[in-house]
């Protein structure tokens, strides 16, 4: 299979014309407009023909592992945010880097940083290229730009089965690292929606959210130590399970989004592959009732692996739950150590006490297998298919985008209402129609991370402008309601204005000072975070 040069994932997995028409017709009916004819998909030759000339050749000292070919440049131009898809669909690759550098060792990373610093070439570390916040869009800003692709720094280098940790190179894709770990009975169990195409280094640089709904919700807590090559040398922390020696250095690398250095490898904490699984689907007449159950479960000390609440519209759009108009809570526990009946029984009771129903009860497995069928399985399938559908929708003039946040429980209901209303209003105003759905993806004792999906008809040629207006409305609504601008999509270039308002001002000054110290030439991913 071949990666699409403009769309999500594998070219071969993009929805068929038929599937697209069926989904498009359904949405058009919802929007009250006649079905649109799908425009033809873009062609790589056209994209290449329209590509601006490279403004800078790879420096001689690193030319051996650089590629300034138009195809390489096109393929490293964008992440996979909605505006990236729109520009890619329109064969606009004006933000392509001038060349791509693919170092095969830390020494080559260091050499690349040095060569680019001397010439003032911007360097954007590039893992899987799945950023949805403009985090890997380094070119087209009037300054020579290099995409530093970690693809060759991929592999599991060491395994420590006693401490249950592995040393893994930053360019390792999700499936590759799991394939290397699981034969040893171990797993990282970090499954973001981008799992197939994103890398360990990208997860660390962006503090990616993963599989677990509670406790280890993001990659941060899996990181035991990090190696990051910076213009000021190797930033290498030591392997400790925990340390109280000063501010944690890893926590400054986590979320640094490529502005301080190139993460090359990390020791990460692993889990044994689960043997026992328990799952249940609890239905709630209304989303907020489900959210109250989530809060009670989050505060119970039971720590489910999954506890995702999907509102009725999202359930319908994803073909989950049979269109009953109910919100669905997908609840699951897993363990390699013990059967989970007491955990699930109590969590289910909390759900029922909060007004939920669970006619089919819980399912238990002790063979390591997932429970087949049911809402969870359908949800998982829809979850990984969604980005393909989103890409396909571009051809139909349908915007499908998501944003997420986290807020304390005390603000949750108000945020949910205000954001839903503001964004629905913005979609109507800007697009004439549109729907907003919500799910809760991650839970904390003191709050939750709601994840919003918005779908609306857009006008060909005006999509980017319309999207910018909608994105601003959504971000303003989130900030006004006391949510963070991002729980796990990162800041990138898209969230920069709201991030600027959210962080403590002296911390911003501190981060700028760190940047000046570590990257005095200011070459690393300019425009991101700072």
Site for its own copies in 334-393 (CB under 8 A): 335-338, 341-343, 346
In the complex, least distance from residue 362 CB atom to its own copies, rounded to whole angstroms: 15
13, 41, 152, 248: which one binds its own copies (CB under 8 A): 248
Which residue among 111, 439, 487, 493 contacts its own copies (CB under 8 A)? 487
**447 near its own copies, rule: CB under 8 A:** yes
Interface pattern 227-246 for its own copies (x via CB under 8 A):
-x-x-xxxxxxxxxxxxxxx
Q: Which segments of 32-120 does DSSP mark as H helices, in order? A: 44-49, 70-75, 82-89, 106-119
Establish if 414 lies at the interface with its own copies (CB under 8 A).
Answer: no
Among residues 81, 354, 474, 491, the one that binds its own copies under rule CB under 8 A: 491
In DSSP notation, 136-199 reads T---SSSS-EEEEE-TTS-SEEEEETTTTEEEEETT-BHHHHHHHHGGGTEE-----TTTTT-B
Alpha-carbon distance 325 to 328, whole Å? Answer: 9
Q: Tell me if 55 contacts its own copies by CB under 8 A.
A: no
Candidate segments 5-13, 117-125, 429-437, 482-490, binder of its own copies by CB under 8 A: 482-490
Asked if residue 523 binds its own copies (CB under 8 A), the reply is: no
d(CA 503, CA 240): 29
* Nearest CA among 162, 176, 72, 85 for reference residue 126: 72
Question: Burial letters for 79-112: b for 16+ Cβ neighbours within 10 Å, e otherwise?
Answer: bbbbbbbbbbbbbbbebbbbbbbbbeebebbbbb
Kindly state whether residue 518 participates in binding its own copies, applying the rule CB under 8 A.
yes
Residue 499 lies near its own copies (rule: CB under 8 A): yes
Per CB under 8 A, the segment of 72-80, 215-223, 423-431, 460-468 that binds its own copies is 215-223
Q: Does residue 512 belong to the site contacting its own copies (CB under 8 A)? A: yes
CB of 58 to its own copies, least distance (A): 26
79 scored as a contact of its own copies (CB under 8 A): no
Compute how many other C-beta atoms are within 10 angstroms of the C-beta atom of residue 403: 27
Measure the N-to-C terminal CA separation of the chain; round to a whole number of Å: 38
Least Å distance between CB 427 and its own copies? 25
Closest listed residue to residue 331, CA positions, set 165, 322, 360, 529: 360
What residues numbered 290-309 form the site for its own copies, per CB under 8 A? 295, 299-303
Size of residue set near its own copies by CB under 8 A: 99
Name residue 218's beta-bridge partners: 209
CB nearer its own copies, residue 102 or residue 256: 256
The verdict on 115 binding its own copies (CB under 8 A) reads no
Least separation in angstroms between CB 522 and its own copies: 14
Euclidean distance between CA atoms 409 and 399, whole angstroms? 30
List all residues 6 or more positions away from 318 whose beta carbon is below 8 Å from its beta carbon. 310, 378, 379, 382, 383, 386
Q: Which stretch binds its own copies (CB under 8 A): 87-95, 148-156, 249-257, 389-397?
A: 249-257
């Amino acid at each position: 299979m071949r990666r699409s040069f403009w769309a999500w994932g594998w070219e071969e997995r993009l929805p068929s014309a038929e599937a697209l028409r069926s989904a498009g017709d359904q949405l058009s009916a919802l929007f009250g407009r006649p079905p649109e004819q799908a425009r033809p998909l873009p062609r790589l030759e056209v994209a290449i023909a329209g590509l601006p000339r490279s403004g800078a050749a790879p420096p001689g000292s690193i030319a051996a592992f650089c590629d300034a070919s138009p195809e390489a440049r096109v393929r490293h131009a964008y992440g996979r945010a909605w505006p990236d898809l729109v520009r890619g669909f329109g064969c606009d690759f004006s933000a392509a880097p001038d060349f791509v550098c693919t170092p095969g060792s830390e020494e080559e990373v260091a050499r690349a940083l040095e060569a680019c610093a001397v010439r003032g070439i911007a360097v954007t570390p590039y893992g899987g290229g799945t950023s949805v916040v403009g985090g890997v869009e380094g070119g087209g800003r009037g300054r020579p730009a290099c995409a530093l692709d970690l693809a060759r720094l991929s592999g599991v280098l060491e395994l420590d089965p006693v401490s249950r940790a592995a040393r893994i190179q930053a360019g390792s894709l999700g499936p590759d690292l799991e394939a290397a770990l699981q034969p040893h009975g171990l797993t990282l169990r970090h499954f973001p929606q981008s799992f197939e195409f994103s890398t360990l280094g990208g997860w660390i640089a962006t503090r990616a959210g993963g599989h677990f709904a509670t406790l280890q919700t993001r990659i941060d807590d899996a990181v035991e130590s990090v190696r990051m090559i910076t213009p000021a040398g190797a930033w290498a922390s030591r392997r400790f399970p925990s340390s109280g020696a000063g501010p944690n250095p890893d926590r400054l690398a986590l979320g640094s989004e490529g502005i301080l250095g190139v993460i090359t490898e990390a020791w990460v904490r692993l889990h044994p592959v689960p043997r026992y699984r328990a799952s249940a689907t609890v239905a709630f007449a209304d989303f907020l009732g489900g959210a109250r159950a989530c809060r009670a479960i989050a505060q119970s000390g039971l720590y489910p692996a999954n506890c995702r609440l999907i509102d009725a519209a999202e359930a319908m759009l994803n073909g989950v739950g049979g269109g009953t108009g109910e919100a669905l809570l997908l609840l699951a526990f897993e363990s390699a150590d013990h059967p989970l009946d007491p955990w699930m029984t109590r969590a289910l009771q909390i759900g029922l006490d909060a007004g939920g129903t669970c006619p089919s009860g819980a399912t238990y497995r002790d063979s390591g297998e997932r429970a087949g069928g049911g809402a969870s399985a359908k949800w998982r399938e829809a979850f990984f298919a969604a980005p393909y559908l989103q890409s396909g929708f571009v051809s139909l003039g349908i915007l499908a985008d998501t944003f997420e946040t986290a807020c304390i429980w005390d603000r949750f209901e108000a945020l949910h209402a205000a954001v839903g209303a503001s964004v629905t209003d913005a979609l109507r105003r800007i697009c004439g129609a549109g729907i907003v759905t919500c799910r809760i993806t991650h839970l904390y004792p003191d709050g939750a991370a709601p994840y919003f999906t918005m779908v609306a008809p857009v006008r060909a040629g005006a999509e980017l402008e319309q999207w910018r207006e909608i994105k601003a409305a959504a971000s303003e609504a989130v900030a006004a309601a006391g949510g963070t601008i991002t729980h796990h999509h990162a800041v990138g270039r898209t969230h920069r204005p709201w991030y600027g308002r959210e962080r403590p001002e002296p911390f911003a000054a501190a981060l700028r000072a760190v940047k000046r110290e570590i990257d005095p030439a200011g070459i690393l991913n300019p425009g991101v975070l700072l």
